[in-house]
Amino acid sequence: MHVTGEGRARLGGLPFHTENNISGTISVAKNKGMRTRLGCLSHKSDSCSDFTAILPDKPNRALKRLSTEEATRWADSFDVLLSHKYGVAAFRAFLKTEFSEENLEFWLACEEFKKTRSTAKLVSKAHRIFEEFVDVQAPREVNIDFQTREATRKNMQEPSLTCFDQAQGKVHSLMEKDSYPRFLRSKMYLDLLSQSQRRLS
């Protein structure tokens, strides 16, 4: 399946093949309800006139807690953005407009996985993450190279807290170099800054 430069841009700059496109279509259908809740979003636009729709807390309380200084700091570095729950919520909403939210979901799943203390749970969690994000034709397959995918597959023989480190690092780097800069230029982020500044005026 041939994809134009414009098509790759809309898909977060990620190459994909027919199988991924089919699974992506299924994923879009499953997430229809979520996109309805994110009423200000559209795959045709990254504008967001009301940021409250994508905040993880009660909107009024969340907006009071989100300061212009905090939102501005998201542009300092990708890791600063990922360390802030509202930053993660905004970035997730942006990735949904590009149909590439699986990258962030995988990264977050890996972060949560590293907190696992039970050996029994560690094994089951590792296989669940692998089957959902890493395996070929996984429901939410992330874009990693063959070597990284196979190295992660070998790690599944004896899962440990570091078994996804290589794959997580690749996905982090991809988002940082590709999606993150576009997020900072997006109307969604600029609207957010504008809204937070108006609350102070």
Q: Give me the amino acid identity at 134.
A: V
pLDDT digits (tens, 9 = 90+) for 49-80: 444 555 555 444 555 567 889 999 999 999 99
pLDDT value of residue 1: 44
- Cβ distance 149 to 167 under 8 Å? yes
- Cβ distance 171 to 164 under 8 Å? no
- Cβ distance 187 to 46 under 8 Å? yes
Q: Residue 156: CA atoms inside 13 Å, Cβ hemisphere, count?
A: 17
Q: For the chain, how are helix, strand and coil distributed in percent, rounded to 5?
A: 65, 0, 35
pLDDT digits (tens, 9 = 90+) for 179-201: 999 999 999 999 888 887 776 65
As a whole number of angstroms, the distance between CA 180 and CA 178 comes to 6
Domains of the chain, CATH where assigned:
5-100+179-200 (1.10.196.10), 102-175 (1.10.167.10)
Backbone angles phi, psi at 170, to 5 degrees: -65, -45
**Within 10 A of 133 (CB to CB), how many other CB atoms are there?**
25
pLDDT value of residue 132: 98
As a whole number of angstroms, the distance between CA 189 and CA 94 comes to 9
As a whole number of angstroms, the distance between CA 119 and CA 110 comes to 16
**Within 10 A of 201 (CB to CB), how many other CB atoms are there?**
4
pLDDT value of residue 17: 41
Measure CA 150 to chain center: 23
**Within 10 A of 187 (CB to CB), how many other CB atoms are there?**
14
Least confident of 15-19, 35-39, 94-98, 124-128: 35-39
Q: Give me the amino acid identity at 96.
A: K
Query: For 137-150, what is the mean pLDDT?
Result: 97
- Cβ distance 53 to 89 under 8 Å? no
pLDDT digits (tens, 9 = 90+) for 12-21: 444 434 344 4
pLDDT digits (tens, 9 = 90+) for 81-120: 999 999 999 999 999 999 999 999 999 999 999 999 998 8
pLDDT value of residue 143: 93
pLDDT value of residue 33: 37
